[in-house]
Amino acid sequence: MRAILLLGIAGVALASVAAAKEKPKDVPASPPDVVRVGKDPWPSQYRPYPGQVTVIRGATIYDGAGRRIDNGMIRLEGGKVAEIGTSVAVPVGATLIEAQGKYVTAGIIDIHSHLGVYPSPGVQAHSDGNEATSPARPEVWAEHSVWPQDPGFSRALAGGITALHALPGSANLFGGRGVTLKPVYGRSVQEMKFPGAPYSLKMACGENPKRVYGSRNQLPATRMGNIAYARQLWSDAVGYKRRWDDYTKRAEAGTAKPTDAPRRELALDTLMGVLNGEILVQNHCYRADEMANVISMSREFGYKVTAFHHAVESYKIADMLKAEGICSAMWADWYGFKMESYDGIRENIALVNAAGACAIVHSDDENGIQRLNQEAAKAIAAGRRLGLTITPELAWTWLSLNPAKGLGIGDRTGSLEAGKAADVVLWSAEPFSVYARPTHVWIDGALMYDWGDPKRRPTADFELGQPGAGEVK
Amino acid sequence: MKRVLLSMVLAAAPAVAAPIAITGATAHTARGEEVIRNATIIIDNGRITAIGAGLAIPAGATVIDAKGQPVTPGIVAVPSDLGLTEVGGVRETSDGSARTSPYSAALDMAAAINPGSLHFAIYRMAGVTRAAAVPDSGNAVFGGQGVVVSLAANGPTVTRPRAFQYVELGEAGARLAGGSRPAAYAQLIDLLDAAKRLAANPAASVGGDDSGSLVKRRDVEALLPVLSGAQSLMVHVERASDILEVLKLKGRYPALRPVLVGAREAWLVAAQIARAGVPVITHSLYDLPDDFEGLAASRNNAGHLQAAGVTVVLGPLGGVGGTTPVNLPGYAGNAVGQGTVPGGKGLTKAQALASITANPARVLGLADTGTLEVGKRADIVLWDGDPLELMSSPVAVWIDGAAQPMTSRQTLLAQRYKALGRIDLPLQYPR
């Protein structure tokens, strides 16, 4: 059991090793009995499907890290990118795909999805994304709402998605934990979880929390109420962490018994994970001034915001976001549907990128996730109209490596580099063209989608035997 | 203040301008598969007076060299809430629906149209030149009478008032009518039958005006043009069986001209729709079983309908997040892309263009709009690349022959924040 816990998060394992080294020699060999808050008590049971050694030859490659290789080659082997360049070894027996005129990219990663938690059909019985029973519900985990049979997973896969982050909704200031999934159908959500990916904490600013709770005559009814509520909870979390740190220190020194451990509070476990840097904050926030308030709050309590989501006003503070090292997850052109989206502009993504800040294209939508490449294309066009230079290979970082970093999995996926996961899409045409479609999608080197092979196109249980079954969607 | 500035800009383009000659264009006329290379288009007095390869340019004409780039008819967006709704989440800025009004079919959207809405300029810059402002049924199955608007900066904004009636059937209609599809049909038939009696005898008693009346005389009167076929009836339905029920209405009301809206399962009954001569307004990107009336949703819908001979309109319909008229060319382009997928059914590029220009114009009864041909309104867009491509943009837009300004509140914001950082004064001061 302890071994599993330590494996969960590499940082935790390292910290334990360091602590062990500092122990004086006269401490007994058997470790003291220390109660710990599990970092990964519901670990992934995902196992990659079998893949073949595959070489794609002659394609233009956008590698997801900002590089372009013309007439490129890539070899997928053992679930990884084995080699990439203008020429790679072609082992005997490898599947060779001639891809002249076609394009290869890193798989698309959506950092903001509600697939599984708001599945199709979107009936009330399936509405599992907002635990809107208190402004703060950091104890709920999106994965416990995910319906693995959401038909949306198959559509996302067909759009070139190789990983996605399923988040709770934004009714609450603290919405709960998000989970990173692969669009690979499993019988349980555990079988879809991206192994070792950190949890996130979904937070929200602005209109939604104050509307939902204000309409019930309870805190928060205003933006100042939003911040006050959140500060109180962060303050509680700091105290909770202090109690656990103090107990752990004493237990490791052998001066505290297991029964001295603080009472577990699941809500505060999540916040303590954020304060410890193990859980990443994904913060729904539209307006620039509210993002600035959140940054101040994060400084006050000692945590970091990883990304602002739906950040339609990031262009107003792109320099600040660059300095803070905070990503912006954005739509290409959503605007005007609510007051806090009134100043949304089509140039937002391009301006964030131009300021040197981290730009991510996200969907927040079961349709949008199928075409994030098209959203990026519109953002490139808007930037160019403003006179900005944006190459397609650079723009692909908005779709793969930047969201991978924003999810804490950038060392494993998000770009086509030797040793990283073979999460790869082959496109029928230049992928920023409206006419382009994925023809093949590999996840961990396994061919999970082939547009020409009905046996490589999944159908969710729900869709079996329904009207229109069998039709290409 | 804003309007004064706008009129100052437009003063440069007098209402009755010299003829305009667009030369060297690749004209995608939206008439069948027609493409005219090296086309000259002559615009005079708001109309297209000549179009063809290498025509003579009239004396005194303003010449626009298209340099081989594509020229298309202006995009016609239907359905939209343009001019009805400013901020969806701010109730007082929206006249799309009237949830507690005693009236339904009588509601005339023309009274709500606000040409000061910021969306006009944003859509216009994307090549949209006309739009149908469609009511959203609020308290009954009928939503009221929609209006076709022009997006011209200097107006006139209303192109065609009372262009069509709107009715909600299917799941939403059932909810509005009290909880079932039969209840929705009871409401629909109650009103249309009353209109029949009124048409036969103008003195007939067809419902009262007191708040307790099930049928309001004004609603019945508003349905007379629907009954006579003078006005089309936009019907929102999705499920195949609901579509067939709508087609049956023509048996009871022979002159009825239904237009199906949404219609995600239309492809299952495409032959019947074609036989009935009923057009379909749908979205090219519906492909999820969002609800139990759209289980068969497929991006093949438009392709199957087109192949069956149905007039297909691609509209900025709800149900696809972030849908806006700005993206209509992309939706049309996606319908072309669908045809490249094995097993996919798509549109040709010309069909796709027609689905956002000529076809919506025809469905809205705009006989003089939607194609590039002599005598038509000069609603024209000059593009910097393939009009259906995501990275292409309009470089010039004419509406009724008038060149349109190519700025919006969005472009002003982008310019203001293009260069960040602290300077002599806050960014909110003019520079």
Contact A428/B at CB under 8 A: yes
Closest alpha carbon to A308 in A340, A268, A337, A339: A340
- For residue B385, the Cα-to-chain-centroid distance in whole angstroms is 23
What's the rounded mean pLDDT across residues B279-297?
97
A274-293 pLDDT tens trace? 999 999 999 999 999 999 99
- Side-chain half-sphere CA neighbours of A351 within 13 A: 30
All domains of chain B, ordered by start, with CATH?
A: 2-72+382-415 (2.30.40.10), 75-367 (3.20.20.140)
Query: Among A13-22, B144-153, B288-297, B346-355, which stretch is predicted with the lowest mean pLDDT?
Result: A13-22
Contact A466/B at CB under 8 A: yes
B34-78 pLDDT tens trace? 999 999 999 999 999 999 998 999 999 999 999 999 999 999 999
CA–CA min distance B344, chain A (Å): 6
Q: How far apart are CA B270 and CA B263, in angstroms?
A: 10
> Does residue A11 surpass a pLDDT of 60?
no
B370-416 pLDDT tens trace? 999 999 999 999 999 999 999 999 999 999 999 999 999 999 999 99
Q: Are B238 and B294 in contact (CB under 8 A)?
A: yes
Kindly state the DSSP code that residue A39 receives in the 8-state scheme. S
Q: Indicate yes or no: CB of B321 within 8 angstroms of CB of A365.
A: yes
What's the rounded mean pLDDT across residues A209-218?
98
Contacts of B172 (CB under 8 A, 6+ apart): B137, B236
Closest alpha carbon to A376 in A346, A401, A337, A414: A346
What's the rounded mean pLDDT across residues B91-100?
94
Q: How far apart are CA A179 and CA A196, in angstroms?
A: 11
Q: Are B412 and B118 in contact (CB under 8 A)?
A: no
Optimal mutation site among A434, A453, A464, A466, interface B, most CBs of chain B within 10 A: A434
Contacts of A141 (CB under 8 A, 6+ apart): A42, A176, A177, A179, A199
A297-350 pLDDT tens trace? 999 999 999 999 999 999 999 999 999 999 999 999 999 999 999 999 999 999
- What's the pLDDT score for residue B318? 87
CB contacts, 8 Å: B117 with chain A: none
Out of A337, A343, A370, name the one closest to residue B88 (CB): A337
Q: What one-letter code names the amino acid at B107?
A: L
Q: Indicate yes or no: CB of B413 within 8 angstroms of CB of A343.
A: yes
Q: Indicate yes or no: CB of A337 within 8 angstroms of CB of B89.
A: yes
> Does residue A16 surpass a pLDDT of 60?
no
Closest alpha carbon to A379 in A413, A402, A406: A402
Q: What angle do CA A89, A90, A96 make, to 5 degrees?
A: 140
Contact B336/A at CB under 8 A: yes
Q: How far apart are CA B7 and CA B15, in angstroms?
A: 11
> Does residue B424 surpass a pLDDT of 90?
no
Please, which pLDDT band fits residue A112 given cuts at 50, 70 and 90?
A: very high
Task: Look at the block and give the residue holding tokens 């009935």.
Answer: B276
Rounded to the nearest integer, the mean pLDDT of chain A is: 94
CA–CA min distance A350, chain B (Å): 10
Listed by start position, the domains of chain A span: 2-41, 107-246+257-416
- What's the pLDDT score for residue B157? 97
Q: Are B421 and A319 in contact (CB under 8 A)?
A: yes
Q: Note the ipTM here.
A: 0.94
What's the rounded mean pLDDT across residues B222-248?
98
Contact B100/A at CB under 8 A: no
In chain A, pLDDT over 70 holds for what percent of residues?
94
Structure-token pair, residue A294: 């959140």
Task: Look at the block and give the residue holding tokens 């903001």.
Answer: A112
Q: Indicate yes or no: CB of A337 within 8 angstroms of CB of B414.
A: no
The yes or no reply on domain A107-246+257-416 and CATH 3.20.20.140 is: yes
Q: How far apart are CA B84 and CA B79, in angstroms?
A: 12
**CA distances to A347, A387, B152, B407, B414 from B410, in Å:** 9, 15, 18, 8, 6
Report the SS3 class of residue B358.
helix
CB contacts, 8 Å: A433 with chain B: 389-390
Secondary structure of B152-190 as H, E, C letters: CCCCCCEEEEEEEEEEECHHHHHHHHCCCHHHHHHHHHH
Please, which pLDDT band fits residue B422 given cuts at 50, 70 and 90?
A: confident
A76-104 pLDDT tens trace? 999 999 999 999 999 999 999 999 999 99
- What's the pLDDT score for residue A31? 73
Q: How far apart are CA A432 and CA A160, in angstroms?
A: 13
